[in-house]
Protein backbone atom coordinates (compact mmCIF):
# COMPACT_ATOMS: atom_id res chain seq x y z
CA UNK A 1 0.00 0.00 0.00
CA UNK A 2 1.44 3.40 -1.01
CA UNK A 3 1.71 5.81 1.90
CA UNK A 4 1.26 8.76 -0.50
CA UNK A 5 -2.34 7.73 -1.16
CA UNK A 6 -3.09 7.30 2.54
CA UNK A 7 -1.58 10.75 3.21
CA UNK A 8 -4.12 12.29 0.82
CA UNK A 9 -6.97 11.18 3.08
CA UNK A 10 -8.10 13.57 5.82
CA UNK A 11 -8.61 10.53 8.06
CA UNK A 12 -4.84 10.23 8.55
CA UNK A 13 -3.98 13.91 9.05
CA UNK A 14 -2.79 13.34 12.64
CA UNK A 15 -0.28 10.63 11.79
CA UNK A 16 3.40 11.21 11.13
CA UNK A 17 5.08 9.80 8.04
CA UNK A 18 6.64 7.04 10.12
CA UNK A 19 3.30 6.10 11.66
CA UNK A 20 1.65 6.12 8.26
CA UNK A 21 4.32 3.83 6.84
CA UNK A 22 3.90 1.51 9.83
CA UNK A 23 0.13 1.38 9.32
CA UNK A 24 0.54 0.74 5.59
CA UNK A 25 2.90 -2.12 6.35
CA UNK A 26 0.36 -4.00 8.49
CA UNK A 27 -2.53 -3.45 6.07
CA UNK A 28 -3.30 -4.40 2.49
CA UNK A 29 -5.08 -2.97 -0.51
CA UNK A 30 -8.02 -4.92 -1.93
CA UNK A 31 -9.95 -4.46 -5.18
CA UNK A 32 -13.68 -5.13 -5.32
CA UNK A 33 -16.40 -5.27 -7.99
CA UNK A 34 -20.12 -4.56 -7.97
CA UNK A 35 -21.79 -7.13 -5.72
CA UNK A 36 -18.60 -8.07 -3.84
CA UNK A 37 -19.25 -8.41 -0.10
CA UNK A 38 -16.30 -6.98 1.81
CA UNK A 39 -17.78 -7.78 5.23
CA UNK A 40 -21.00 -9.39 6.47
CA UNK A 41 -23.46 -8.32 9.16
CA UNK A 42 -23.09 -10.31 12.39
CA UNK A 43 -19.67 -11.75 11.52
CA UNK A 44 -16.66 -10.96 13.76
CA UNK A 45 -15.32 -7.50 12.88
CA UNK A 46 -11.73 -8.71 12.47
CA UNK A 47 -10.73 -6.01 9.97
CA UNK A 48 -10.84 -2.23 9.71
CA UNK A 49 -11.90 -1.09 6.24
CA UNK A 50 -11.06 2.29 4.68
CA UNK A 51 -12.49 3.22 1.29
CA UNK A 52 -9.94 4.38 -1.29
CA UNK A 53 -12.08 4.42 -4.42
CA UNK A 54 -15.58 3.37 -5.57
CA UNK A 55 -18.65 2.92 -3.39
CA UNK A 56 -19.77 0.36 -0.79
CA UNK A 57 -23.40 0.12 0.31
CA UNK A 58 -24.08 -0.69 3.97
CA UNK A 59 -26.97 -3.16 4.20
CA UNK A 60 -28.82 -4.67 7.11
CA UNK A 61 -31.50 -7.34 7.40
CA UNK A 62 -34.68 -6.56 9.32
CA UNK A 63 -36.78 -9.71 9.33
CA UNK A 64 -36.70 -10.97 5.75
CA UNK A 65 -36.08 -7.55 4.24
CA UNK A 66 -32.71 -6.06 3.35
CA UNK A 67 -32.45 -2.32 4.06
CA UNK A 68 -29.73 0.08 2.95
CA UNK A 69 -28.51 2.09 5.92
CA UNK A 70 -26.09 4.24 3.95
CA UNK A 71 -22.98 4.13 1.81
CA UNK A 72 -19.23 4.53 2.02
CA UNK A 73 -19.02 6.80 -1.02
CA UNK A 74 -16.05 9.09 -0.32
CA UNK A 75 -12.37 8.14 0.06
CA UNK A 76 -11.52 7.99 3.75
CA UNK A 77 -14.88 6.62 4.90
CA UNK A 78 -14.30 3.60 7.13
CA UNK A 79 -16.15 0.70 8.80
CA UNK A 80 -15.53 -2.29 11.08
CA UNK A 81 -12.45 -3.06 13.12
CA UNK A 82 -14.46 -3.28 16.34
CA UNK A 83 -12.53 -6.28 17.61
CA UNK A 84 -9.60 -3.96 18.15
CA UNK A 85 -11.46 -2.77 21.28
CA UNK A 86 -14.15 -5.40 21.89
CA UNK A 87 -13.45 -9.13 21.64
CA UNK A 88 -17.12 -9.72 20.84
CA UNK A 89 -17.38 -6.96 18.25
CA UNK A 90 -19.24 -7.82 15.03
CA UNK A 91 -20.02 -5.96 11.84
CA UNK A 92 -23.25 -4.03 12.26
CA UNK A 93 -24.05 -4.16 8.54
CA UNK A 94 -23.01 -5.90 5.35
CA UNK A 95 -20.64 -3.94 3.09
CA UNK A 96 -21.36 -4.69 -0.57
CA UNK A 97 -19.71 -3.00 -3.53
CA UNK A 98 -22.13 -0.89 -5.59
CA UNK A 99 -19.37 0.61 -7.76
CA UNK A 100 -16.01 -1.03 -8.54
CA UNK A 101 -13.21 0.26 -6.32
CA UNK A 102 -10.46 -0.34 -3.81
CA UNK A 103 -10.27 -0.54 -0.02
CA UNK A 104 -7.48 -0.52 2.55
CA UNK A 105 -7.85 -3.31 5.11
CA UNK A 106 -6.07 -3.52 8.49
CA UNK A 107 -6.41 -6.47 10.93
CA UNK A 108 -8.20 -5.41 14.12
CA UNK A 109 -5.39 -6.66 16.37
CA UNK A 110 -2.77 -4.67 14.43
CA UNK A 111 -4.97 -1.58 14.65
CA UNK A 112 -5.26 -1.98 18.44
CA UNK A 113 -1.49 -2.30 18.80
CA UNK A 114 -0.93 0.87 16.79
CA UNK A 115 -3.53 2.76 18.86
CA UNK A 116 -2.03 1.59 22.16
CA UNK A 117 1.39 2.77 21.03
CA UNK A 118 0.42 6.09 19.45
CA UNK A 119 -2.38 7.42 21.70
CA UNK A 120 -3.19 5.25 24.69
CA UNK A 121 -5.78 7.63 26.13
CA UNK A 122 -7.68 7.74 22.84
CA UNK A 123 -7.69 3.95 22.72
CA UNK A 124 -9.41 3.83 26.14
CA UNK A 125 -12.07 6.29 24.97
CA UNK A 126 -12.72 4.32 21.80
CA UNK A 127 -12.97 1.07 23.76
CA UNK A 128 -15.63 2.57 26.03
CA UNK A 129 -17.55 3.93 23.05
CA UNK A 130 -17.50 0.60 21.23
CA UNK A 131 -18.71 -1.32 24.27
CA UNK A 132 -21.54 1.16 24.79
CA UNK A 133 -22.54 0.85 21.14
CA UNK A 134 -22.56 -2.95 21.43
CA UNK A 135 -24.82 -2.78 24.49
CA UNK A 136 -27.22 -0.51 22.61
CA UNK A 137 -27.13 -2.89 19.66
CA UNK A 138 -27.94 -5.84 21.92
CA UNK A 139 -30.89 -4.03 23.48
CA UNK A 140 -32.16 -3.01 20.03
CA UNK A 141 -32.00 -6.55 18.70
CA UNK A 142 -33.78 -7.86 21.79
CA UNK A 143 -36.48 -5.24 21.26
CA UNK A 144 -36.88 -6.32 17.63
CA UNK A 145 -37.15 -9.94 18.74
CA UNK A 146 -39.80 -9.05 21.32
CA UNK A 147 -41.82 -7.12 18.73
CA UNK A 148 -41.65 -10.06 16.33
CA UNK A 149 -42.67 -12.44 19.12
CA UNK A 150 -45.55 -10.16 20.08
CA UNK A 151 -46.83 -10.07 16.48
CA UNK A 152 -46.58 -13.86 16.29
CA UNK A 153 -48.45 -14.27 19.57
CA UNK A 154 -51.17 -11.85 18.45
CA UNK A 155 -51.65 -13.72 15.18
CA UNK A 156 -51.74 -17.05 16.97
CA UNK A 157 -54.24 -15.76 19.51
CA UNK A 158 -56.45 -14.50 16.69
CA UNK A 159 -56.35 -17.87 14.93
CA UNK A 160 -57.13 -19.71 18.17
CA UNK A 161 -59.80 -17.26 19.29
CA UNK A 162 -62.11 -17.79 16.29
CA UNK A 163 -62.70 -21.56 16.73
CA UNK A 164 -62.50 -21.16 20.51
CA UNK A 165 -65.28 -18.55 20.44
CA UNK A 166 -67.40 -20.81 18.22
CA UNK A 167 -66.84 -23.73 20.59
CA UNK A 168 -67.80 -21.55 23.57
CA UNK A 169 -71.02 -20.49 21.87
CA UNK A 170 -71.82 -24.11 21.04
CA UNK A 171 -71.26 -25.15 24.65
CA UNK A 172 -73.52 -22.33 25.87
CA UNK A 173 -76.25 -23.37 23.42
CA UNK A 174 -75.93 -27.01 24.49
CA UNK A 175 -76.18 -25.97 28.12
CA UNK A 176 -79.39 -24.04 27.39
CA UNK A 177 -80.82 -27.02 25.50
CA UNK A 178 -79.99 -29.40 28.36
CA UNK A 179 -81.61 -27.04 30.85
CA UNK A 180 -84.74 -26.83 28.73
CA UNK A 181 -84.86 -30.63 28.38
CA UNK A 182 -84.46 -31.11 32.14
CA UNK A 183 -87.21 -28.59 32.84
CA UNK A 184 -89.52 -30.32 30.37
CA UNK A 185 -88.94 -33.74 31.92
CA UNK A 186 -89.54 -32.28 35.39
CA UNK A 187 -92.80 -30.73 34.16
CA UNK A 188 -93.96 -34.02 32.74
CA UNK A 189 -93.16 -35.91 35.94
CA UNK A 190 -94.95 -33.39 38.16
CA UNK A 191 -98.01 -33.64 35.90
CA UNK A 192 -98.43 -37.31 36.91
CA UNK A 193 -97.90 -38.52 33.33
CA UNK A 194 -97.70 -42.27 32.98
CA UNK A 195 -94.71 -44.27 31.75
CA UNK A 196 -96.70 -45.32 28.69
CA UNK A 197 -97.43 -41.69 27.83
CA UNK A 198 -93.75 -40.73 28.22
CA UNK A 199 -92.82 -43.60 25.89
CA UNK A 200 -95.37 -42.43 23.33
CA UNK A 201 -94.07 -38.86 23.48
CA UNK A 202 -90.49 -40.07 23.01
CA UNK A 203 -91.56 -42.13 20.00
CA UNK A 204 -93.25 -39.06 18.54
CA UNK A 205 -90.05 -37.04 19.12
CA UNK A 206 -87.96 -39.61 17.31
CA UNK A 207 -90.32 -39.60 14.32
CA UNK A 208 -90.23 -35.82 13.99
CA UNK A 209 -88.13 -34.42 11.13
CA UNK A 210 -87.25 -30.70 11.47
CA UNK A 211 -88.21 -28.60 8.47
CA UNK A 212 -85.45 -27.90 6.00
CA UNK A 213 -84.16 -24.40 5.35
CA UNK A 214 -85.52 -24.52 1.80
CA UNK A 215 -89.11 -25.04 3.02
CA UNK A 216 -91.24 -22.02 2.18
CA UNK A 217 -92.92 -19.86 4.82
CA UNK A 218 -96.31 -20.60 3.27
CA UNK A 219 -95.91 -24.36 3.80
CA UNK A 220 -94.86 -23.85 7.42
CA UNK A 221 -97.78 -21.47 8.04
CA UNK A 222 -100.26 -23.96 6.58
CA UNK A 223 -98.84 -26.70 8.84
CA UNK A 224 -99.15 -24.43 11.89
CA UNK A 225 -102.79 -23.72 11.05
CA UNK A 226 -103.52 -27.42 10.63
CA UNK A 227 -101.84 -28.27 13.93
CA UNK A 228 -103.65 -25.45 15.74
CA UNK A 229 -107.00 -26.74 14.48
CA UNK A 230 -106.14 -30.33 15.43
CA UNK A 231 -105.03 -29.29 18.94
CA UNK A 232 -108.23 -27.34 19.48
CA UNK A 233 -110.33 -30.26 18.27
CA UNK A 234 -108.53 -32.51 20.77
CA UNK A 235 -109.12 -30.30 23.77
CA UNK A 236 -105.73 -28.57 24.02
CA UNK A 237 -106.13 -25.06 25.41
CA UNK A 238 -104.28 -22.23 23.61
CA UNK A 239 -103.15 -24.62 20.89
CA UNK A 240 -102.13 -21.64 18.72
CA UNK A 241 -99.19 -21.04 21.11
CA UNK A 242 -97.98 -24.63 20.83
CA UNK A 243 -98.56 -25.11 17.09
CA UNK A 244 -95.55 -23.05 15.80
CA UNK A 245 -93.11 -25.04 17.97
CA UNK A 246 -94.54 -28.37 16.84
CA UNK A 247 -94.55 -27.28 13.21
CA UNK A 248 -90.91 -26.20 13.48
CA UNK A 249 -90.07 -29.62 14.91
CA UNK A 250 -91.50 -31.28 11.81
CA UNK A 251 -94.71 -32.59 13.33
Q: Confidence band (pLDDT; 50, 70, 90) for 199?
A: confident
Q: Confidence band (pLDDT; 50, 70, 90) for 240?
A: confident
d(CA 100, CA 32): 6
**In terms of Cα–Cα distance, which of 78, 81, 37 is closest to 61?**
37
Distance of CA 180 to CAs 172, 183, 210, 239, Å? Answer: 12, 5, 18, 20
Q: Determine the pLDDT at residue 23.
A: 92
d(CA 218, CA 187): 33
Distance of CA 93 to CAs 21, 107, 124, 195, 241, Å? Answer: 30, 18, 24, 84, 78
> Could you tell me the end-to-end alpha-carbon distance of the chain, in angstroms, rounded to an integer?
101
Q: Determine the pLDDT at residue 47.
A: 95
* Cβ-contact 71, 28 below 8 angstroms: no
d(CA 91, CA 61): 12
Q: Determine the pLDDT at residue 123.
A: 65
Q: Confidence band (pLDDT; 50, 70, 90) for 229?
A: confident
Q: Determine the pLDDT at residue 125.
A: 67
Q: Determine the pLDDT at residue 32.
A: 97
Amino acid sequence: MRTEELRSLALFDGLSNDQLRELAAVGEELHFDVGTELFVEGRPADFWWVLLEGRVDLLRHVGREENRLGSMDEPGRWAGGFRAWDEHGVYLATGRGSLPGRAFRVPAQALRERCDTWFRFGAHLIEGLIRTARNFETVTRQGEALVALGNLAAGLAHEINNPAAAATRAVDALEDACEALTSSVTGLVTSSISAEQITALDKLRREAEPAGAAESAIVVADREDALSDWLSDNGVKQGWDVAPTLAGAGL
